[in-house]
Structure 1
Amino acid sequence: MENEYNKKIKILHVAQAAGGVDRYLRTLLKYLDKDKFENIVVLSQDFKKEDYKDIADTFISIKMERAIGKHDIEAIKQLRKLIKKYAPDIVYAHSSKAGAIARVANIGMKNYCIYNPHGWAFNMQVSKKKQSLYTFIEKVEALFCNKIVCISNAEKKSALDKNICRENKLQVIFNGIDIEAYKQPYEHCIQRRNLNIPENAFVIGMVGRISKQKAPDVFVEAAKKIKDKIKNAYFVIVGNGDMEAEIKKYIVNHNMQNCFHITGWVENPMEYIRLFDVACLLSRWEGFGLVLPEYMLAGKPIVASKVDAIPDIIKSGENGILVEPDNAEDVKNEILRLYGDKSFRQKLVMQGQADVKKFDVQRVAAEHQRMFMDIVNGES
């Protein structure tokens, strides 16, 4: 495809799932060169137009649902009309559902197509039947895109293990956080007293959805074990989700109301992370785990599960500690170790703060820019 040097590369981004994908897309668009790229975003009803006011050239909302159903046909039709209308150089689909809709809608169009699964659906803890279905869909739809962006080496390995596509179609671009934004001073810093946390408490926290993937049940089970050993331990979960009632019931049943705080959904998780003495991510599966570099940036020792992409970020004993998934006893033992060894905690923190530079979203944007230019100029 011919690309004149004075013409911006037009990219039409498609996303259905908000949450982490929303954050990823917003930070990516923030740092893409606006003199070189025009960004059109076609997003589901779960996204907010005002969030894209200064970073996208065009914002369009269409109805897209997470579950597979007849409504997908209408979404494909609407998206195909928009692709014809805007004639982008590149269609870039973010996450599994948008990837399925966009790649079908784009069949036969004269542009390039990129897909970023943000964590393969077939790696989730679902039935074998669903895993097989998701794998089949990914294999078929891989035929209808030029590049698949993997946000970790683990994601690339999964694609090759499942024979999703040939290796040269896969490109690893590690995920990143907006380090520059975190350097800005906060208007209102949350203090321990705001959450009724004692000043002398040893605070163990996790940030993430209170859902099966993030294993909040393992966190609270470990919390009970830790509280028996560390009398001034206090626990914080930053987030909300479909397991919230179950987790709160466990807290009440084990008489832990006075040492546990659940924030619900918050706009500013970093302010809560600053209150932690130890930060956890105990996921059962994980496409990347963006909160891990956030923990590093905040100077917190990390305990994380040894699954999927997490070992790409955490090197156990160097910049954090890895534990087996679904193992509350393992979590307890490692947190007791951190509690008792301040110099070890400091060692992990110092290495984490050095390593976090590798996970800067400005590097993510720069790698995307090179990929976009190479694809349009026929070099990839």
Structure 2
Amino acid sequence: MRRIRILHVAQAAGGVDRYIRMLLKYLDKDKFENILVCSQAFHKEDYEGLVSCFEQIEMTREIGKNDICAIKKVRKLIKKYVPDIVYAHSSKAGALARIADIGIKNYCIYNPHGWAFNMRCSDKKRKMYIVIEKIAALFCDKIICISDAEKESGLKICSEDKLHVIFNGVDIEAYEKSVHGKIKRDDLGIPDNAFVVGMVGRISSQKAPDVFIQMAKLVKLEISNAYFVIVGNGKQENEIRKYAKKNGLSDRLYITGWVDNPMNYVELFDVACLLSRWEGFGLVLPEYMMAGKPIVASRVDAIPSIIEDGENGLLVEVDDAAGASKAVLQIHKNNELREKLIVHGLQDVYDKFNVRRVAAEHGELFEKEIKRRI
């Protein structure tokens, strides 16, 4: 039988890039052919062996005149490759691809990877995002939600029958086969006996690096050998460094900048944090679990569906630096709690968050909908 041809459209890199790569790696290659149309933020070499065609066009995160040109180019590529399914990833690519696909006979799927209207923004902007999503929802057949919390939010823009939940997952097999310990604490100027608290994520408002560094200040008052690592880059980096310098943390804070394999740094952590202000899923949480790290995370959106407070991690309120510091100190002082969180986290990542399950559920959806159309 002819393989089902899927044309993926993606603008945002980062977590979306990692998600697509993991998905394509485990989708059955005998059943599915994959084509990627992406922005300039993606790298062709990352998709060798995963896609039959790799196309890059200029797509920007901001709404602007360039969008018209991007829509025309995406539409031209849809007509060129004649896919059975157009799969749009994230808000911007989701809007561009669905507009570009209007009137073309294929099956259209959209995955927001976190609703834009759940971001911390003005009421005016939030209402605008909801209106855009409501209109765009008319031009796709199915919307994939990466958590139950995402589905609940999705009811604001479309009926329940259009929403389909496929929980995120991580590539456990790749991590187990990888070489561990590539990065040493000494490489970062951190003593071997230090207590390291870290986070992975963009240095931007969503991931609350300001709360992380405020928490770091409080933790350092109690733990003399505490060090802190932020894996990522972003617009707020200078702000974070200024705060660290002002509060005597400069020699205790290491910011990696953009890295290809954040897990190399996660392995150095004694406690792993995700203190987000909003979060569609939080893929880094099962990654922390996979590395055997106890977690402190914010109680927001999808995070409580992944982290059960006191079982596989500790939950704190959003913007609560003091609460986050208390949770970190609790893990530092209580070895029994620490081991419990690690063991339960490892069990959960194997039972619930394997990317093979994500790929299998996608494959089932693709085949079901294509057969229904025949």
- Structure 2-normalised TM-score? 0.98
Distance 1:271 1:210 in 2: 18
The one-character-per-residue Cα deviations of 1:4-38 (angstroms, maximum 9, x if unpaired) are: xx111011110011111111111111111111111
Quick one: structure 1 residues 223 and 187, their matched pair in 2 at CA, closer, same or farther if it must change by over 3 Å?
closer
Specify the alignment match of 1:362 in structure 2.
Answer: 356
Matched AA of 1:106: D
Tell me, yes or no, if the aligned pair for 2:195 and 2:225 is still in contact at 8 Å. yes
For residues 8-157 of structure 1, the aligned pairs below 5 Å read 8-157=3-152
Question: How many Å apart are 1:379 and its aligned residue?
Answer: 7.7
The one-character-per-residue Cα deviations of 1:171-226 (angstroms, maximum 9, x if unpaired) are: 00001111111012317621112212112211111111111110010011011111
Specify the alignment match of 2:332 in structure 1.
Answer: 339
The one-character-per-residue Cα deviations of 1:249-296 (angstroms, maximum 9, x if unpaired) are: 111111112222111111221111111111100001111111101110
Specify the alignment match of 2:164 in structure 1.
Answer: 171
Task: Give 1:216's match in structure 2, choosing from 162, 184, 209.
Answer: 209
The one-character-per-residue Cα deviations of 1:332-373 (angstroms, maximum 9, x if unpaired) are: 111111111000110011000000011111110000000000
Distance 1:225 1:23 in 2: 33
Quick one: structure 1 residues 379 and 156, their matched pair in 2 at CA, closer, same or farther if it must change by over 3 Å?
farther
Task: Give 2:320's match in structure 1, choosing from 323, 327, 330.
Answer: 327
Specify the alignment match of 2:282 in structure 1.
Answer: 289
Distance 1:333 1:218 in 2: 13
Number of residues paired by the alignment?
373
Percent identity of the aligned residues? 64
Distance 1:26 1:184 in 2: 17
| Pair 1:303 & 2:296 matched | yes
Secondary structure (helix, strand or coil) at the match of 1:25 reads: helix
Tell me, yes or no, if the aligned pair for 2:16 and 2:89 is still in contact at 8 Å. yes
Q: What is the aligned-residue RMSD (CA, Å)?
A: 1.2
Distance 1:85 1:379 in 2: 21
Question: How many Å apart are 1:99 and its aligned residue?
Answer: 0.6
Distance 2:298 2:124 in 1: 26
Task: Give 1:373's match in structure 2, choosing from 344, 350, 367.
Answer: 367
Question: How many Å apart are 1:65 and its aligned residue?
Answer: 1.1
Distance 2:178 2:20 in 1: 23
Matched AA of 1:348: L
| Pair 1:234 & 2:227 matched | yes
Secondary structure (helix, strand or coil) at the match of 2:34 reads: strand
User: Any stretches of 5+ residues in structure 2 without a counterpart?
Assistant: none
Distance 2:245 2:322 in 1: 21
Tell me, yes or no, if the aligned pair for 2:88 and 2:94 is still in contact at 8 Å. yes
Specify the alignment match of 1:3 in structure 2.
Answer: none
User: Any stretches of 5+ residues in structure 1 without a counterpart?
Assistant: 1-5
Distance 2:48 2:247 in 1: 47
Secondary structure (helix, strand or coil) at the match of 1:377 reads: helix
Task: Give 1:196's match in structure 2, choosing from 189, 204, 210.
Answer: 189
Spell out structure 1 runs of 4+ moving beyond 4 A: none
- Deviates further, 198-207 or 143-152: 198-207
Question: How many Å apart are 1:143 and its aligned residue?
Answer: 0.7
Distance 2:53 2:127 in 1: 37
Question: How many Å apart are 1:71 and its aligned residue?
Answer: 1.2
